[in-house]
Structure 1
Amino acid sequence: MKFRVERDVFADAVAWAARSLPVRPSSPVLAGLLIEANDAGLVLSTFDYETSARATLSAEVNDEGKALVSGRLLADICRSLPAKPVELTLDGPRVSLTCGSARFSLQTMPVSDYPTLPEMPSATGTVSSADFAHAVAQAVTAAGRDDMLPVLTGVRIEIDGSTMALLATDRFRLSHRELTWNPQSPDESVAALVPAKVLGDTAKSLTSGAEVTIALSSSGTGEGLIGFEGTGLGGVRRTTTRLLDGEFPKVRSLFPAEHLTVAKVSKADLIETVKRVALVAERNTAVQMKFGDNQIVLDAGSGDEAMATEAVDADINGDDLTTGFNPQFLLDGLTAIDGEMVDLAFTQATKPVVISGTDADDTTGSFRYLLMPRRLLS
């Protein structure tokens, strides 16, 4: 194997493929990045039996062949290379990489031990890459991080015709984002539970092109796959990942049909106020919020320790109420919302608040964030 390729194109593709490599692989070969050179160019692949990544790019190939090398090491090397063409040659059990006067020699791993990557499922539809990345970033805000509850570490994607809904919850909060997309079939109706971390990383990494193709193959037993395809520097990027098994909770009913109290407030003002007041909040304690007289009064701390109070102006319609929330969870939701103004809608003080943007651009979809209240210290 011998080829020559532009440094930026190669470094970008290597970094993209290596980003999903496992930190602690179950087998040494799963830390490898597979390089395949043929007449069509290069294919760089990684796979850990759960998530696969495949980048194709153009290159001047002199000799075809395959080599498996440490993916993270190759990515580190490529980041540090000078801005000159890269030449890579397979010489027995080692790969030689030359870039300008820089030369590296890497040990290879047996290609025969590397698992076969799964095929990309048939395309289900396409979506704007920028809209999809933004929607996913909002949705994953509420995804769980406890591996003991794997179902809650996923984002449920629900497709109904030209509407795609993204749902995530960790039992304390819930995110719901809708956006329009272009299905292959106008009456498409399907759902999938995708690992939130993989979904977030993938959506963010596929914004170079205008569109992302989503390919879904679900057997209903947790063995289904979802695939994403977009364009990157110099070629095509493809990722597949296994769907999570288990029944995602029926969370849509948690959003109330009507609200008795709605407060409209500047998002930036509320975020800054919460940050300041939360400085004195003890670990795992709530920031109290009192709604009334066209302002929200925030309190934190206790009489024996530091205390803080601050008010922020708000347009409040409905009954006065006092409640409290985990400040970090509240900030996560506020930060994810688009627009300058937000609505905080309540049915009563002991029920969840629904936070949404009031002046966001609604051409691509809507985002709602539901947050459970925390018990206030007496």
Structure 2
Amino acid sequence: MKFRVDRDVLADAVAWAARVLPTRPAAPVLSGLLLEAGDELSLSAFDYDVSAQARIEAEVAEPGQVLIPGRLLAEISRSLPQAPVDIVTDGAEAVLTCGSAEFGLVTMPVEDFPTLPQMPPSIGAVGGGVFASAVGQVAPAASRDDTLPMLTGIRVDIEGDSVSMAATDRYRIAARDFVWRPERPDTAVSAMVPARVMVEVAKSLRGGEVSIAMGDGVAGFESVGRSTTVRLLDEQFIDYKTRLSAEWSLRADVRVAPFIDAIKRVALVAERNTAIRLSFTQGQVLIQAGGGDIGRGAEVLECELRGDDIQIAFQSQFLLDGLTGIETESVRLNMESPTRPALITDVPGDAAPAFRYLVMSLRLS
């Protein structure tokens, strides 16, 4: 095998594919990137649960395949000088040359690399910006604790041209609705997709559309020459929609950017996992934290309150995760009492909010 490729294009593709390589592979070959040179150059990684494949242009002199240690190739690729990269196989070695730099990389047996799963049938597509925004809003609420796999996923419910995404770690629920372009108008699908994979797909988007595929317990995402497949989680999930549709007697609207900045400032004196206290009165909200061994902080912002005065507390990062998902100038906090969860939404005007974030309150001491 012998080919030449642009240095930046190679480094970008290798970094993208290598992100799914397991830290502790079950077999040595799973730590490798499979490079296949033909009409184009493809780079593939697979750990039996998640696959990633990037396709890029290359000048191929001799077609072929080679399996190279992926993380090492990623480190080398991003450190190369600005010059075309030549890779040629020579026995059990892949020789990489870039300018005056040369590396001889010991290859692994291609025949031991598992066959990549087939991409399931496409069920529709959505703009990359919408997809990335929705995942960014919902994913922070997914759990990082693998002991309950259901909580580590993003629930995707598709009904015709409507898509709902949701995630929860039991302490908050984040949900986002958006419109997409289904392959069939009667499309109806529900699936649990690992959140970490959705986040990586969203990070890699560079415009265009994202094609979404589902079938045989596998989800697939494809955009701009890059494709990912992932094994789905168990479909079991909470009935989150009823929890987000409660009636609220109190409502406070606050400009979101100053609100986020004030919470971050005040939280500097809050010990880990302690509360941020919000005191809403007519025309203003008092943000407070601390009071222990470190110190205390407070800041006042204007707000529009409808209902009685209320003091309520939240874990600061949980509150910030909800606020950073807001895409309107102001955020709306829907509340019932200091001991009940609060619903954070956009200030939507006449339309129903597309993003909803339900977060548990903390007991005030």
> TM-score range, shorter-chain basis?
over 0.9
Q: Which moved more, 1:57-66 or 1:300-309?
A: 300-309
Q: 1:9 to 1:277 in 2, by over 3 A?
A: closer
* 1:112 match: secondary structure: helix
The answer to whether the 8 A contact 1:341-1:359 is kept is no
The answer to whether the 8 A contact 2:34-2:68 is kept is yes
Query: Could you tell me which of 190, 214, 217 is aligned with 2:215?
Result: 217
Q: Which amino acid aligns with 1:19?
A: R
Pair 1:129-2:128 in alignment: yes
Distance 2:358 2:73 in 1: 43
Partner in structure 1 of residue 222 of structure 2: 229
Query: Could you tell me which of 367, 370, 375 is aligned with 2:355?
Result: 367
The answer to whether the 8 A contact 2:190-2:235 is kept is no
* 1:337 match: secondary structure: coil
Query: Could you tell me which of 333, 346, 364 is aligned with 2:335?
Result: 346
The answer to whether the 8 A contact 2:334-2:343 is kept is yes
Pair 1:330-2:319 in alignment: yes
Partner in structure 1 of residue 140 of structure 2: 141
Distance 1:290 1:58 in 2: 58
Q: Which amino acid aligns with 2:209?
A: E
Distance 1:42 1:305 in 2: 56
Distance 2:310 2:183 in 1: 48
The answer to whether the 8 A contact 2:273-2:316 is kept is no
| Residues 193-236 of structure 1: per-residue CA shift (max 9 Å, x gap) | 0111110111221x224101000114xxxxx10001111xxxx1
Distance 2:59 2:289 in 1: 63
Partner in structure 1 of residue 6 of structure 2: 6
Q: Which amino acid aligns with 2:272?
A: R
Partner in structure 2 of residue 37 of structure 1: 37
Show structure 1 runs of 5+ residues with no match.
219-223
Q: Which amino acid aligns with 2:76?
A: I
| Residues 10-44 of structure 1: per-residue CA shift (max 9 Å, x gap) | 22221211121112212111110001122x22221
Distance 1:308 1:100 in 2: 56
What is the correspondence of 1:196-345 to structure 2 with a 5 Å cutoff? 196-205=195-204, 207-218=205-216, 224-231=217-224, 236-302=225-291, 306-345=295-334
Q: Which amino acid aligns with 2:172?
A: R
Deviation, 1:319, is: 1.7
The answer to whether the 8 A contact 1:2-1:62 is kept is yes
Q: Which moved more, 1:179-188 or 1:237-246?
A: 237-246
Distance 2:351 2:41 in 1: 41
Q: Which moved more, 1:256-265 or 1:5-14?
A: 5-14
* 1:43 match: secondary structure: strand
Q: Which moved more, 1:92-101 or 1:307-316?
A: 307-316
Equivalenced residue count is 365
Deviation, 1:174, is: 0.8
Q: 1:6 to 1:360 in 2, by over 3 A?
A: farther
Q: 1:82 to 1:307 in 2, by over 3 A?
A: closer
What is the correspondence of 1:144-163 to structure 2 with a 5 Å cutoff? 144-163=143-162
Partner in structure 2 of residue 221 of structure 1: none
| Residues 30-70 of structure 1: per-residue CA shift (max 9 Å, x gap) | 110001122x2222110000100111222222222211011
The answer to whether the 8 A contact 2:212-2:222 is kept is yes
| Residues 299-348 of structure 1: per-residue CA shift (max 9 Å, x gap) | 32336762333322111001222211101111111112112211101122
Distance 1:303 1:126 in 2: 51
The answer to whether the 8 A contact 2:338-2:363 is kept is no
Partner in structure 2 of residue 186 of structure 1: 185
Partner in structure 2 of residue 99 of structure 1: 98
The answer to whether the 8 A contact 1:338-1:360 is kept is no
Q: TM-score, normalised by structure 2?
A: 0.95
The answer to whether the 8 A contact 1:157-1:165 is kept is yes
What percentage of aligned pairs have identical amino acids?
Answer: 50
Q: TM-score, normalised by structure 1?
A: 0.92
CA RMSD of the aligned region, Å? 1.9
Q: Which moved more, 1:339-348 or 1:45-54?
A: 339-348
The answer to whether the 8 A contact 2:191-2:235 is kept is no
Pair 1:177-2:176 in alignment: yes
Partner in structure 1 of residue 26 of structure 2: 26
Q: Which amino acid aligns with 1:373?
A: S
The answer to whether the 8 A contact 1:339-1:360 is kept is no
Deviation, 1:244, is: 1.0
Q: 1:368 to 1:5 in 2, by over 3 A?
A: same
Deviation, 1:84, is: 2.1
Distance 1:311 1:204 in 2: 35
Q: Which amino acid aligns with 1:176?
A: A
The answer to whether the 8 A contact 1:141-1:336 is kept is no
